[in-house]
Structure formats: structure tokens, C-alpha cells
Structure 1
Amino acid sequence: MAKSSDSSVILSKGSESQGLGTFGGVFTPSILTILGVIMYLRFGWVVGHVGLWQTLLIVTISTSITLLTGLSISAIATDQVVRAGGAYYMISRSLGIETGGAVGIPLYLAQAFSVALYTIGFAESLVQVFPGWSQTLVALITTILVAVLALKSADIAIKAQYFIMAAIALSLVSLMLGHSVEPTTLPVTEVPGSVGFWAVLAVFFPAVTGIMAGVNMSGDLKDPQRSIPYGTLAAIGVGYVIYMVIPIFLNQWADPSTLLAEPLVMRRIARWGDIILLGVWGATLSSAIGSILGAPRVLQALARDGILPSWLKWLGRGHGPMDEPRMGTLFTLGIALAAVSIGDLNLIAPVLTMFFLTTYLVLNVSAGLETFLQSPSFRPTFKVHWSLSLLGAVGCLVVMFLINAVATVMAALIVLGIFVWLQRREMQGAWGDVRNGLWMTLVRTSLFQMQTTPDAKNWRPHLLVFSGAPTKRPHLTNLAVDLTHNRGLITLSSVLPSGARSASQQDALESTIEDYLDKQGIEAFVRLVTAPDPFSGMEKLVDAYGIGPLVPNTVLLGDTEAEHTRDRFCQMIATCHQARRNVLIFRSQPEDYPDFNPLPTNHRIDVWWGGLQTNGGLMLILAYLLRTSGRWRNADIYLNLVVANDQAKAAAEQNLESLVKSLRIGAIPRVIVARDRPFDDILTTTSKTADLVFLGLANPEDNFTEYYLDLQKRTTPLPATIFVLASEELEFAEVLQRDG
């Protein structure tokens, strides 16, 4: 079983004074990724199609979803110490290592390929100014230089972003000091308003999805719990203000046709047009720097947690006082250079956007669940109501489908595939997560919603199996599995002598049994109790095991031939009956019941019929459940009824055939004429070739021990036999005959 190491214990090697602050570590990379190429090259297109007021509405809707995600991030960040890995770290510590890895691996790849996307975008814009340059060569050189900057140190890379921020700020000032422009002379290929509101929103939305750039620097921050919420929310707020102001100038200074025909219309509007080019170049380079800084840190956390295959463990190494992921940066550079060499990443770009939005969605779900469950361990200083987080998750999902439904499905399949792969590796984190709390809440709610009285429509056996060690009585475990179909509950129980084992030894034995069941693919609980004798322990479990309405309704145990324990055995049957627990006594040797491998078809089950009332209905239900299980698939169920003479046979056959037809369980009616033969002879002669026999058991009353001893003697010649005693306050005939 693979077990991850807890990267939360791998502390940054530097002191707090060496960490990045809120402005440099979170706000700067976030705002520079938000104010990207869409602002420069597509904002005019947005205004040209939907006009000013709908543009402002699009900005508000898009930013609202990002704001809700930012609030969720702030709640998680102020509850836990956020180490390297940013969003991956938060998700894995909340929803579990499988979910964290399923989101973290695609998130890393998206960031790694984003480096290539941004450097190719930078190269394209540069080649437009210098047509003689090679776009691929420029992109390759730019990618290497960006990686070298990141390798030198995150601090230097962040300082480089200050100059880029200055260039973007100057370009915005130049735009706002601009002027009206003459209508375009270029051919207009699109008619204003030809693209709908939601389609335009889908184009604009990626412009507000840059908040991960700051979160991914979590391992390099001086105070992540303070910097992440303040820096992230500040970047969202500043970005919103800028995005609300720019459309006003675009709408005032250019007509819709010009906005649609000229992607770089801002260059004509601005007072100093060439500064807009600096802004475009700065936006692409800052996004590339943010990605080359963030991606290796996610990769480092994935490697340290054991998510990646063991041969990639070296990617978790850190260097220098800031524990910088140099090996991860080189690895990411290799991926980015390969992507740049391909040149055209337009086909995978939508899927990359989906990975970012999937991360946002899962972060919202994490915060929403943590807040809703109100676990004592979740104590964020930045409090957000769970409904806001889940609203953010819904918003992310809707926008994903609006942007590209096919890419959404592809991204979901990739995330699901990684999740299944990690589950099969049986990853275990050395930290708790929200899943147990979620299941506990669901179980609690379900228990209080369940009826306290048995319900015929939804009845199925919930078995308390007195199996002892399952390896010694596999036939009892197999029978329980066949009867429940992995739908009912199975509890395998064993009684240990008082004082035979310490509490730790008892826990170890329970774990051993659970491991055995897991290897056999059997879903069952294990319950061990101590008692002076086995029957006292069994009675203790029958009396006390369960919670609320969820208690075993059926007890399954093996037969006993020991004379000195027969009285106590029969007394325990009476105790189960009085406690309203159905009793199944399996009279068989282990070799008489099939092992875990399926049997061939056409085996035979004999049910000896005394009517639908009392035991008859339960026996038929159990036989039907066996017939529809894997081991007994399509076995023949013979419903045997004994009549005194030939005169009674015709009417009995007609009634039995009508009953079998109405029950729809595939039973074969068989009426047997006694002709003065004893029932024991009929039973032995008829069922000696069956594979399994069901017989009803009388209610425990006076002289029950003598009755049971006599029954054992009479059934000795039979193959594997199950004695059935229906004890629940339930008409089992109603389970079989559902009239509405």
C-alpha cells in the first residue's frame, strides 16, 4: 500500500524574514496574470458585440465567480498552514490525497503548457513589429530566459514583475489619456451583436482567472495565512475596477465596427500608442513568469506526497534557503520547450482553461464542505458561509460548459482517470481530510430519516454473522455475500474469551480480518467482543449491536453437534427470536458450499413449502436472492409441497402455479403425493440430489432442545441445509406480493 509523506512537515528551510510578502508574493503575480492579453486584444471585441452595459454585466458576473473562489481560498488558507503546492496542497488536505492528486497533476500540466502559450503569444506580437524574426526561435529563447530568471531565484523573478507591472500601468494611463479614433478602414468580418451574451462571457472569462498565480507561491511566502487572502482579494478588487473602467473609454472613443475589426485598437486610442505594445509584451511575459514559478512548486509538492511514480521522486528536492524547486523548474522547462517546438497549442488551450476552472471548482467545494460540516478542527479566521462557496462551485461549472463543453468533458475524464489510478494505488495521506466528516453527516441524516419499523418494500437482509475467524468458516461468509448482493450490510462477528487478548491485540486481530476481507473483495464490518463463553457474547451482540433503526435484522450462524452446548445453542436461538431477529442456521460442512469462484449454472435449491405465512415467505426471498447472485446464477428453485392424496394434488398444483407466476421469482412448483409415506422419507428421497435445502424452523417454545435434536437427526442425510426462523414484525408475504 503506497503511503504518502506529509509535506506539511517539510518546512521551508528559510526563516520567515526570507519569505515573500503579500504584495510581491501574491498580489503582484495575481494582478499581472489577471491583466493579460485578453484585456489588450479581446476587450474591444467584447464591447463591440454586446455594448457597454452588457460588458459591465459580463465583467461583474465573471469577477463574482472569481471573488467567491477567492473567498473560499481565503477560508482554507486561514485555517491551515499552507505549504508548497498552493491549490493542490489545500485540496489534498481537505478532500483527500486522491482528489488533490487528481486535480494537482492536471493543474501542473496546465501551468507548464501555459508557459509555452504565453511565450508563443509574446513571440507572435514581437514578430508583428519585427517581421523578419523567427517566431519559434523567439519563443524558445524567451522560454529559456524566463526559466533562467526563475532558477536564479523566485525573489528576482518577482522583482522583474515589478518592471512589467510598471509597463502595464503606463499602458493603462496612456489608454485613459487617449482620444477618439476614426472608424476603421479595415474590412469588418463580424456584425456587431452577432455573438450572443453568454458566448461573449465565455471568451472574456479567462481574463479573471489569474488568482492561482499567487496561491501557487504559498511555500515561498513569509506569512501564507495572511498574504493569500489579502493579496488574492486585493488583486480581484483592483482587476475588477480596471475592467469596469476600460469599457467606458473603449465605448466612448471607438465605434463597434472598429472595435471588432482591430484587435489592437487600444494602440490607436492611446496617447502613446507604442506603450500599449509594452503592455501586451509585459502581460504575456508576466503570465509566463507566474506559470514558471508556480508549476514547479506544485510538482514539488506532488512528488513529496508520493503522488508521482517513485522514479520521479527526485522532483521533490528543494535547493537553497528558500527550498526552491530547481529540478522541478528544469523539468517544467523541458515540457515548455517541447510544447513551443510544436508551435500551435490552440487545440489544447481550452482543456488547459478547464483544468484551471476545475481547480477553482474543487477549491469551492472544499471550503463549502468544511464550513457546512463545522468540524471542530476547521477554524478559519476568515469566515465564509458555505452557500457562497458552493455557489462559486456551481458558477465555475456553468462557465466551463459555456466556454467549451467538449473540453469540459475531456478535462473531467482526465481528472477522473487520475483519481481512479490513485485510488487503485491505495494512497494514504498522513493527515485527515473532510471525507469522513462528510460521510458521518450523511449517515447521521440518513439514520434520522429512516423508519423505525421494517418496510416491506425496501426490505433486504442485514446480516450479523457469527463466523469466528472467516478463514475457518468461509461457507458462512460466502453465504452472507450471496444473500446481500453488496446491498445489505454484513457484520462478521467473533467472541473472544475474557482476558484472552489485550485491547491492542484485539485491534490487531480485527485489522487482520479486515485485510483478509479486503483481499477477497468482501464488503463487511468486523466486530469482536469478549465474554465468558461464546453464547453470552453472541447474545450481547444481538442485544446491543447497531445504532438507531440500523440494526442487523437477521442472524446467520453454523449448526452445532456438541451435546454439552446444545441447550445454550437453543437458548440463544430463542433470544434472537425474542429480539425480533430472523435466524438462519447453516447446517453444512465448508466443503459443501461453493468457494469464492462462481459455480456452473443449473444448480438446484429446494424450498419445502408450508405457505407464505411465517417462514415460507422468508425462505422464498432468500432462495430468490441466492438465485440472482453470482455464485448461484440461474439456479433452479423447486417449491416443494406435500399433499395427502391424488385428489388434493390437482387443486394444489393449480394454486401453487398461480402463486409462483404472481411472485415472479422463477420458482418451479412441485406437488408431491405422500401416499402414507412419512415426511422424513419424502424429504430425504426428494432433496438428496439438491445443492441446497431450505427448511422452516418452529418457534422456540417448551422442549425446543428436544425438537431441535430430532430435527438434526431427521436431516442428517440431506446436503447443505438452511434452517429458517422468521422473527421480524414484518409480513414477508408483502415483500413478495407487492400490489402497490
Structure 2
Amino acid sequence: MSKFLSRVGNQIDVLQRRLESGNKPTVQFSPLPDSPPEEFCTSVADDIPSGRRKDLKYRRKRRQNTLLSLFGIDPVREKLGTFEGVFVPVCLSIWGIMLFVRQGYIIGQAGLVETFVMFIVGYLIAYFTTLSLSAISANGTVRGGGPYYLISRSLGPEFGGSIGLVFWFGTILGGVLNLLAFVQPLLTTFGEQQGAMFNVLPEGKWSGFFYSSVLLLCCTGVCLIGSKVFARTSIFLSFIILVSTLIIFLSFFIRSPFTDVDNGIEYTGLSIQTLKENLWPQYSPSAENPSKVENYQSIFALVFPCFVGIMAGTSMSGNLRKPSKSIPKGTLAAVVVTFMLYMIINIMLAASTTKETLLKRLSILQDISIFPSMVVAGAFATATFATLSALISSAKIIQAIARDHLLPILSLFDQGTDRSDDPTYAIIFSYILIQLLLLTGSIGVVAPYFTILSILTFGITNLACFLLKIGSAPNFRPSFHHFKWYTGLIGVSLCFTTIFIIDPLLATISTAFMSIMFGVIHYTTLPKSWGDVTQSLIYHQVRKYLLRLDTRKEHVKFWRPQILLLVNNPRNSYHLIQFCNSLKKGSLYILGHVLKGNFRSNLNEFRKQQNVWLKFVDITQIKAFVQLTISDSDRFGARNLIVGSGLGGMRPNIVVLGFFNSSSHEESHNNKRKHVSIPIVGSLPTDRNKQETPIPITDYVSIIEDTLALNKAIAIAHGFSNLRDLPPLDDDSNLFSAHSGQKSRKKYIDIWPIQLSIPSAYNENGYLTNFDTYTMVLQMGCILHMVPYWKQNFTLRVMCFVERRSDVEEERRRVEVLLENLRVEAELHVFWLDCEELTTYSAIVKGKHISHQNDGPEQSNGVDVGESASMPIESGSSQYLRSSGTNFSQVSLSYSQSGVVGMKINVPIPERGDDHLSEDSDLSDMEEVEEEHTHSFPPSAAGSVATSQETHSNSSTEFNDLPPHAQNIILNELMRLRSKDATILFTSLPAPDPGTCEEQEKCEYYMNDLKLLVKDLPPTFLIHAKSMTVTTHL
């Protein structure tokens, strides 16, 4: 504090002198740090602790750091550098206590050759993992939490949280392992029976537990004081370990050969003969459990704990001055130094001590040392430092996980001290857990678990860096340039191969635990704004495969519906949105919407609605993309969507519109909620969207014309607001009862494929027919029935008709052949028009008077009409849909039309019509308008129906000769009669003549004719195709 005041006083003196000299005072800032300030590196939610009180502490600390910077004082000066913060901790952790208590035993069991192989494998894993750690840490600012922070910010919270918990528990086990190993040299030196220097300490299991507990308590006290004391203690301990290591190496050269028969020691000094005897493995019963024979796996489990020390520097990343530079330099230097030292000491032990001695005397380094007490001090220092590292590292990890709010149960441990943010609660928790695990009392029990968890952490770390590299994200450009994608891949392969070699069962359990935690965090944690490498990978792969998805290689055999649904109000169109979600058959599905108005003035609304529509998709659980556009008119906005939606080979080939609503203004959202029942409680994100003006009828018809001009199929959905049978929200493949509590009844999907003549295409036999539309109607009905929910709950029916009863059997045979060739499994029903039930046909074609006595259903035409079900559903579509999509190029195949079935209908040029006409008024309208609009029909039709009187008197008039208005009236009655118990109808959509949209009157005629066709029908999906979608070829 005194230094701070003196600096403040000096700055004040400088300011006063400048004022006296007339110079303008300036405030001098300290140079910019090498790494940007924290607030520029992470989000507020990532750095500021939760809670108002902690937020105030954070801001106060930041203001203090800013004030220190104003006066030239570095606020991070007290943090650790590369040597004391990384190199020393990593060296001390790698140069672990197993060197003092198990190194000779390892060589005695595995031999020098296999020991070399183990160390080389271990160091290769450590080396490749170090490269990955260095690359990640050199790519940005590293915060506290060590491997957890690196992985979570690279792979996302699920991977980071799950592997963070695994590494946290592995770190705890590392502390237990070192404390258990510490007891052995302590008792060898001071034990009552085996003490080489003093025989004062009691021996036994509980005595060893007590000694470990005392050391653990002392280490916990040091950690609670603060990281600064920890760093100073580390330097002191490193000095002891350094001296002890030098004495070990000197002892091999200074100590004369000797033999101690009583203790079973035979030291030959450096000898080629002894080296040859120790080259090869000789596995024998375990020193701790004589009933178990050691093997390669169990010995490697004792070797690998040494290499876990490479994480020591990363675990202290929060206390480093420059983590991105210190971690690579310090860790790699420590790896190289310790590797050379281990290789040397292995050779010296194998060349100077007999195999029997190595197997029996676990404290062989102490026995041959010129200063045995220094070896004991080195073991004590190593165990102490490892325990300190385990406590502080595990506490930092659990603190970081708690502050990220990944698991609510850990929220208590987000606490940190005001001065240095030391995790007091987490340190105490780690102390309790280590204390309990000390009850295991055996190194051989703890070592395999510690090894498996550590290698698993290494593997995920390598995987994180490998994925970042192959994801080709431009922002992954670490200043550490020695990492390559193949080094990460080698590291991943080595790690996962090794854990399953060591212990397949433990490896499986550990991986399963990590997977469970992955799922828990994924489903219980709010989304984090850290970035996720999987998004980069998905982008990379999708781009690659989209380039390979060549539209020129498409074939009709692999055709699938790619739907662009144009939506204005999602609440009104909810049933249609869910229906199209079932109809897409695992392919592209886009929701399109047009914002009408000026581009600049609608930009804010556009940005807001982008997020709102995405939230709507999440809530409704549909698998769809969202495409919005801004345009001055519905027509040009829809055209923009049709042309621009999709990418590459994934472009919509079907544009779906809701039925045109003739009302002048849309109803409010509140009114719509009253008559549109959807299985979503409360408000939708889109309920507050800007309400668009109604679409003009000319724009509506122009969207149909533009879609067909672009060679895309067009579909119009009528009455879907009345659809009640929908798959559940969670999964459209699950089964559920749509009408719980109601009596179960058979439900149907009816397909009415109708051939449409093409007035612009003539041949010598008359009009050509659009067979593509006929087959696409069959195709779409079949696709819907392939969805598990619809297949389980509905029966598919194909409904055809002929004019005369004598043609029924021939028609049935033709359609059966066609359905068999197209692999459409459905019930087939064939009707004829010339029957008493169809009053409209009798009145229009035969000129009979209409009576009102036959209102109920009857059985005729040889087909069971069925029992009376619910009343026909009224037309309920009241939304204006403005949007559209794009198509993917179709492959035209020649297909014989000799088997074409159904009645031809002339493409309509509509008449006047009313959506609320009764049957009688329909007929009277027909009689009134026939003569007036005869000139509007194609020549063949006009010639056949010149006047109503002529129609009545001419008994040879046929259905095909009628104008579209009359045909639609007859078809409407036929479908109402035969499909009154159906849930969904698929049928053909008559297309408007090119240029219809240019005149208001023609557009009204066209839409009125469509209303007559679908009046009082169940939800109806009308389709008009422009290309072939089915084939019989292999």
C-alpha cells in the first residue's frame, strides 16, 4: 500500500509541475497488455459471477485495476509467469512420487524394454496432448478451469461439462494416489519395524490413514491461504525435489556395490550383465496383493500417472500472467526435460540392481542413495506438491463448472475470495472427498481408475483440437504453429486405444458416465453463447456434400417432396404447418413469409421476426427452415422466395399456399385463437408479429402462375384449420389418440386423382392430359400414409369415377394395374356419375328436376357409402399466405399414358360463384351463367353447352362436354357424398390460363370455380404438377 501511495504522490507532483510550467496535464496509461482485457474476450454472462453482490465485487475489482493502470501499475503483476506457473508445476507433477516408490518395481516386473515402450507410449500421448493444449490455449484468452475451460469453449458445454467432471474426479484420485504412496517411504524410514533411520512411527492400515490425513490437512491449509502461498511453497518444494534427484543420479556413480542379505538387497553398480538380466519382463505376484499376478496393463496403470502432470500448468491457467504463451512453452519444456531424466534413471536402475531386489525392495532408490534422508525428503516434497496441485486444480475446475451454471447442484461452489478469487468452498469439498477416498488404502486399487480417467481427458482434449482444425474455422489460427490436424488425430487414437487395452470394463464405465453427464447437461442447461465446434463441422460437411448434390444427376426414382409453405399467420396455419411437416418425408421443408413494405423501414421488423420464427419452429418441434423476405408486393416477395429459397440441389419443388380468403381484413389474433384450436397453450412467439394487409386476388393467382412457370408443383390447402387429427408435438412418428374419450372410428385418407386437359396443347385426338398431376396426387397421398402415425391410424383409399356404369369394371382393372405398378397399397373405389344419387349430374346433364327428398346417404353404384358420421366440415381457411420457394430441376421421363384413368376436366376459366351457396343455388347459378359465359370456354366445351335449354334437351351431352363451372359442381357433390368420412382429401388442382392474373375478373372467376370444387369438403390438398414424380423402372 505504501508503494502505491508513493507512486500516486509522484504522479501528483508531475501534474503540479506541468501546471506551473503552463503545459497541459496528461494522464499516462500503461502500455497495452499482450492479451486483450477480459471484457473484450468473453461475454458478460461468461465472466461476471451470478448475483448482485458478486457483480458489485467484480465491478469494484475492475475499477481498481483500471485505477492502477492509470498510474502505471500493472494490475496482473502478482500473477505467475512461465517458469513458476507452468514449467515448475509440470516438472514436479511428472516427476511424481511413483518414481520414489514404484520405479524399481516397474522395471523388475516389465523389464527395461517394456518399460521403455510404456514410457514412450505415455510420452507420445503426453506430447500430442501438449500440442493440442498449446494450440487451444494459444488461440485466445484462457480463463480458470484448466482443461474444462478449454474443452467447453471449443466443443460446447455438453462436452466441456462432462469431461470436466471426469477430469475433476481424476484429479481427486491423483491426490489420493500421492497421499497413499507417501506413507510407504515414511514408514520405511521411521516405522517401528522397518524404519531405516528411526523406529518411532506406528505401522498398520489405520496409522497410514492417519499420516495421509495429516498431510492432506496441511496441504488444504496452504491452499486456503491463497494461490500466492501455493506458488511460493511450490518453489521451495521444487528445490528439495531437485536436490533429491541430483543425489539419486550421483548415487549410481558414487555408491559402491554391496549386498544386504537380511533386507534382500543386491546392488551391483553399473553393470552390462545386470542390464541384460533386466531387459525382459518377468511378471510375478503383486507386492500389495500376492494373489494377483501383474501384467502389462496393471504395470502401465502405475506408469501413466506420471504423465498426467502435463495438465498442471493448464489447471493454473487462471493464475497465469500470459496463459496463451506460458502454457505451450512451459509444458513442452517440462515434457522434454522429464523424458530425458526418466530414460536415464530407468537405464541406471536396470544396470545396477538385480531383478529380485527390484521386485522386493520398493524403496530401492532410498537403499542405494548416499543420503537416504534426501530421498525421503524428495518423496515427501513430491507427495506434498502433488496433493497441493490436486486440491487447487480440482477446486478451480468445480468452481468454473459451477459459475457456468451447467449443473444446479454445484451452484454452491461458484464462490471465490474477494482478493484472489480462491475457491474456498470447492477446496473444502475436495478435501472431504479425498479424505473419504483415502479409506481405499491401496495404490493398486486407485491407480487404474486414475489412469483411465486421465487418458480419457487427454483423448477428448485432442479430439477438441482436431475438430477445430478440420472444421476450417477462420478464427482458429493459434499462434502456436506446431500443431497439425494429424497430431490431434494420432493423440485421439492413442488415448482411446490405450484405455481399452488397460481395462476395457473401466474404460466402458467411464465413457458411459461421461455420456450420461453429456445428456444431463444437454437437456437441463440453458444454451450458452460460447460457440460450438460441431456447428463448424456441420457447416464444413454440409457445404461439401451440397456441392456433390448435383441437380443434373437427379433421377425420378429418388424424387422426394421438398416443400415451401407460404405462411402469413402461423397460429391460423398451425394445422397446415404440422401437416406439411408429416408430408415432407425426411426432405427439405421451408416456411416462407413476406414482409410487405419499404426495405429500409422494415429492417428492424425483419431482424425481430427472424428470431421469432426460429423460436416458433423450436416450440412446434417441426423440422423446417425459415425464409423471410421484404417486398413491396406479395407477388414479387413470393417470387423472390420461390427463386431464392434453398441451396444447390436442395431447393423446393412444391410450393404450398393456403386457400384464398375473400374477406377484406384479417381478424385479430385474439379472435383467431377462439376458432383455431391448436395443442399449444399460451401465446406463440409469432403472435406479436406485424400484421400484413390482405393479399390481392391478382397477386394470389400470379403466385400460382409464377410457380408453374418456374416448373415447380403448386399445391393449395383448403380447410386445414378444421383438421383435428395431427401427430403429437414430440414426435410425428409416435402414436396417440387424437380424440381421447370419443368412440373410436375408422378414418380415411382419400385420393381423388383427376386428369386435367391442357387447353394450350392439342393433338389430332383433342386435348392432351396432365398425367404428371394425376400420378403426383397418388404419390403425395402414398407418402403421407408412409408416416407411422398416419399409417397406423388411417386407411388409404383411391377414389375414381367414370360416367357410365358399364365402364366401371374396365376402369377398375386399369387403375389396379397402375396402382400395382406404382406400388401404392390402397383400397380402390370406382363410382359412376350416371346415378340417381348425384342430383347435380341428373339436373345438368339429363335436365331432370331436382327434388329435396334425398338428403340422406344411400347405397348405390355397388359401393357402400358408409354410415353417417359427422357433418361436413365448413370451409375455415381465413389466412392470407404470402411466401414462396424454389425448385429443384426435374428429370422428365417418357411414360405411356395408355393406361390413364379418370375423367378429363377442361382447365377452368371460372364463373361466378359464392362460397356459401346451397346446392339449389349452385344449380340455379349454373343455369344463369352458362349462356353468358359460353364464349369463355374452350371450343369443344362451348360447342357442347351453348345454353341450359340445349343441355336439358340434349340427352347425349357428356360430362367432358360441360364447362368447368358445371364439372366442379358435380365433382363437389360426388366427393362430399363418397368422402364425408375422410380426414384428408388429395385431388388435382386446375391451373389458370397464363395471363389470368392480369385481370381482376378472370382471377375472381378462377377462384370462384375452386370454391365450388372444395365447398363443404374435409381438409383438401389440391395439387398441380409440372414433372414426373413416379416411375416403374428399377
Matched, 1:491 2:590: yes
The separation in 1 between residues aligned to 2:501 and 2:425, in whole angstroms, is: 38
1:22 CA drift (Å): 1.6
1:218 CA drift (Å): 0.9
Q: 1:330 aligns with which of 425, 428, 434?
A: 428
> 1:124 and 1:645, CA in 2 relative to 1: closer, same or farther beyond 3 A?
farther
Matched, 1:686 2:978: yes
Structure 2 residues without counterparts, runs of 5 or longer: 1-42, 50-57, 66-73, 193-201, 266-281, 287-292, 664-694, 729-735, 756-769, 842-969, 997-1002
1:39 CA drift (Å): 3.0
Q: 1:718 aligns with which of 999, 1008, 1017?
A: 1017
Aligned pairs (5 A) from 1:128-527: 129-130=190-191, 132-133=202-203, 134-176=207-249, 177-178=251-252, 190=284, 201=300, 203-273=302-372, 275-309=374-408, 312-313=411-412, 315-320=414-419, 322-341=420-439, 350-383=448-481, 384-453=483-552, 454-484=554-584, 487-499=586-598, 502-527=602-627
Q: 1:629 aligns with which of 787, 790, 815?
A: 787
The separation in 1 between residues aligned to 2:342 and 2:488, in whole angstroms, is: 24
What's the secondary structure of 1:18's corresponding residue? Answer: coil
CA contact (8 A) 1:482 1:631 kept: no
The separation in 2 between residues aligned to 1:327 and 1:223, in whole angstroms, is: 27
The separation in 1 between residues aligned to 2:359 and 2:654, in whole angstroms, is: 73
The separation in 2 between residues aligned to 1:637 and 1:447, in whole angstroms, is: 35
- What is the TM-score normalised by the length of structure 1? 0.89
- Greater CA drift, 414-423 or 123-132: 123-132
1:583 CA drift (Å): 1.8
Q: 1:7 aligns with which of 41, 44, 47?
A: 47
Task: Give the count of matched residue pairs.
Answer: 729
1:431 CA drift (Å): 4.0
Matched, 1:68 2:128: yes
> 1:653 and 1:235, CA in 2 relative to 1: closer, same or farther beyond 3 A?
same
CA-to-aligned-CA distance 1:579-625 (integer Å, 9 cap, x gap): 23222211114023435645368421011235995124333332233
Partner in structure 2 of residue 590 of structure 1 = 721
The separation in 2 between residues aligned to 1:688 and 1:170, in whole angstroms, is: 96
> 1:143 and 1:621, CA in 2 relative to 1: closer, same or farther beyond 3 A?
farther
The separation in 1 between residues aligned to 2:976 and 2:407, in whole angstroms, is: 63
* Structure 2 counterpart of 1:159, one-letter code: R
Matched, 1:92 2:140: no
> 1:92 and 1:281, CA in 2 relative to 1: closer, same or farther beyond 3 A?
same
Matched, 1:105 2:165: yes
* Structure 1 counterpart of 2:527, one-letter code: Q
CA-to-aligned-CA distance 1:460-491 (integer Å, 9 cap, x gap): 32221112121121122111221135x32322
CA contact (8 A) 1:107 1:355 kept: yes
- Greater CA drift, 239-248 or 693-702: 693-702
- What is the TM-score normalised by the length of structure 2? 0.65
The separation in 2 between residues aligned to 1:661 and 1:4, in whole angstroms, is: 64
* Structure 2 counterpart of 1:579, one-letter code: L
* Structure 2 counterpart of 1:224, one-letter code: P
The separation in 1 between residues aligned to 2:44 and 2:449, in whole angstroms, is: 28
CA contact (8 A) 1:476 1:557 kept: no
Partner in structure 2 of residue 640 of structure 1 = 799
What's the secondary structure of 1:691's corresponding residue? Answer: strand
The separation in 2 between residues aligned to 1:488 and 1:583, in whole angstroms, is: 17
* Structure 2 counterpart of 1:450, one-letter code: L
Partner in structure 1 of residue 645 of structure 2 = 545
The separation in 2 between residues aligned to 1:372 and 1:181, in whole angstroms, is: 59
- Greater CA drift, 140-149 or 698-707: 698-707
CA contact (8 A) 2:82 2:326 kept: yes
The separation in 2 between residues aligned to 1:405 and 1:274, in whole angstroms, is: 41
> 1:238 and 1:665, CA in 2 relative to 1: closer, same or farther beyond 3 A?
farther
1:304 CA drift (Å): 2.6
The separation in 1 between residues aligned to 2:775 and 2:464, in whole angstroms, is: 48
CA contact (8 A) 2:719 2:1019 kept: yes
The separation in 2 between residues aligned to 1:450 and 1:392, in whole angstroms, is: 34
1:232 CA drift (Å): 0.6
CA-to-aligned-CA distance 1:100-137 (integer Å, 9 cap, x gap): 22222332233234333322332355345525241222
> 1:553 and 1:58, CA in 2 relative to 1: closer, same or farther beyond 3 A?
same
1:92 CA drift (Å): 2.2
What's the secondary structure of 2:338's corresponding residue? Answer: helix
CA contact (8 A) 2:301 2:447 kept: no
- Greater CA drift, 666-675 or 635-644: 666-675
1:197 CA drift (Å): 5.8
What's the secondary structure of 2:790's corresponding residue? Answer: coil
The separation in 2 between residues aligned to 1:196 and 1:340, in whole angstroms, is: 25
The separation in 1 between residues aligned to 2:214 and 2:978, in whole angstroms, is: 88
CA contact (8 A) 1:494 1:529 kept: yes
Matched, 1:574 2:701: no
What's the secondary structure of 2:551's corresponding residue? Answer: coil
CA contact (8 A) 1:642 1:674 kept: yes
The separation in 1 between residues aligned to 2:490 and 2:563, in whole angstroms, is: 42
Partner in structure 2 of residue 609 of structure 1 = 753
Aligned-residue CA RMSD (Å) = 3.4
What's the secondary structure of 1:683's corresponding residue? Answer: helix
CA contact (8 A) 2:317 2:323 kept: yes
> 1:458 and 1:202, CA in 2 relative to 1: closer, same or farther beyond 3 A?
farther
> 1:468 and 1:353, CA in 2 relative to 1: closer, same or farther beyond 3 A?
farther
Structure number with higher helix proportion? 1
The separation in 1 between residues aligned to 2:89 and 2:558, in whole angstroms, is: 57
- Greater CA drift, 679-688 or 64-73: 679-688
Partner in structure 1 of residue 78 of structure 2 = 18
- Greater CA drift, 311-320 or 530-539: 311-320
1:493 CA drift (Å): 1.9
Question: Structure 1 vs Structure 2: percent identity of aligned residues?
Answer: 24
1:534 CA drift (Å): 2.2
1:565 CA drift (Å): 4.0
* Structure 2 counterpart of 1:637, one-letter code: L
Partner in structure 1 of residue 1026 of structure 2 = 727
> 1:477 and 1:125, CA in 2 relative to 1: closer, same or farther beyond 3 A?
farther
The separation in 1 between residues aligned to 2:344 and 2:558, in whole angstroms, is: 61
CA contact (8 A) 1:603 1:632 kept: no
CA contact (8 A) 2:101 2:181 kept: no
The separation in 2 between residues aligned to 1:562 and 1:345, in whole angstroms, is: 83
> 1:355 and 1:556, CA in 2 relative to 1: closer, same or farther beyond 3 A?
farther
CA-to-aligned-CA distance 1:197-216 (integer Å, 9 cap, x gap): 67754553332221111211
Structure 1 residues without counterparts, runs of 5 or longer: none
What's the secondary structure of 1:338's corresponding residue? Answer: helix
Partner in structure 2 of residue 619 of structure 1 = 777
> 1:646 and 1:70, CA in 2 relative to 1: closer, same or farther beyond 3 A?
same
- Greater CA drift, 165-174 or 205-214: 165-174
> 1:262 and 1:363, CA in 2 relative to 1: closer, same or farther beyond 3 A?
same
CA contact (8 A) 2:405 2:525 kept: no
CA contact (8 A) 2:804 2:834 kept: yes
CA contact (8 A) 1:584 1:722 kept: yes
The separation in 1 between residues aligned to 2:434 and 2:298, in whole angstroms, is: 30
What's the secondary structure of 1:493's corresponding residue? Answer: strand
